[in-house]
Amino acid sequence: MSSEDRDNWVPPTQHFPPMPPPNDLPTMMLPRVPRRQYQSRARVAIIGAGLLVLFAAGGIALAPDNDPPQAHFVTMAPIPLDPSPTTAEVTDPAPTYQPPRRGTQPAPPATEKVSSKTPTSPAPTTTSAPATVGPKLVVDTTIGLAPADTPGSRLRHWDFQARISTLTSASPAQDRADSRYIVRKGAADARCFSFESDNYRGRFLRHRDYKLYLDQVDGSELFAADATFCPVDRQNDTFTLRSKNYPDRSIARRGELLYLTRAATTFTVQPPL
């Protein structure tokens, strides 16, 4: 085909078969639902819608109430107040201190009697005037007290507690000073004696809780009685020291310490060191 023929070429006309008339198209038939089945479906839909409404209403009723409770006030009639009777306030008097009675103290533990070179007799249990000790104890003189059964030892105080220690003229000055006592008239009985420390004036030998201490005078009757001792003569210029307010007890040695017991240690008066 030449170029001229190509330019003048026209495609041939196409012929299609004619379309059939509309009445000849196949008819589409929908299935027919029975009447009763349609009514049942409608009834189920109505019942379901009712249930949904009921559930929605129940959910709203059961939903928590976030609003705070409201206070409800009730009006009441006023209550008349009767004046209470006037009563005087009763106050207890302030308690006063009562020192414990010495008689209520527990008895000291049983101890072995202190042996001595000279025989001893039981201390008298009466408060009659004690026998004088002659020139051995003289008021306002400075002396040393020594156990009769332990030569070279003296009654001295240490940390303000009475004890027995071995002392000589070569002992330290402080130890020798602790063994010197001034004989005083009995604080609770002029027929007896009290013993004041020579290096701690104003402090006396006294028993407390059945032990012998060097305590400061406090001016009480109890202190005066605890610091008063009545000498009882023994053999060979020895004597025991009986308590004024516990006449059945005397100063007795137990080891190095001194107690107030029913046993008694005999003493002798020695020149001060």
C-alpha 186/C-alpha 113 separation (Å) is: 27
Instruction: For residue 110, give the 3-state DSSP assignment.
Output: coil
pLDDT tens for each residue of 56-72: 776 655 555 555 556 55
Report the first-to-last Cα separation within the chain, whole angstroms.
171
Considering only CA atoms, give the Rg of the chain: 62
Give the range with max mean pLDDT: 43-47, 67-71, 131-135, 233-237: 233-237
- pLDDT band at residue 33 using 50, 70 and 90 as cut-offs: low
Mean pLDDT rounded to a whole number for the chain: 76
Say what the pTM is: 0.52
Q: Which of 143, 89, 131, 140 is nearest to 233 (CA)?
A: 131
Handedness of CA 243, 246, 248, 253 (dihedral sign): negative
CATH code, 114-270: 2.80.10.50
Query: What would the pLDDT profile of 177-230 be if each residue is shown by its tens digit?
Result: 999 999 999 999 999 999 999 999 999 999 999 999 999 999 999 999 999 999
The upper half-sphere exposure of residue 256, i.e. CA atoms within 13 Å in the direction of its Cβ, equals: 8
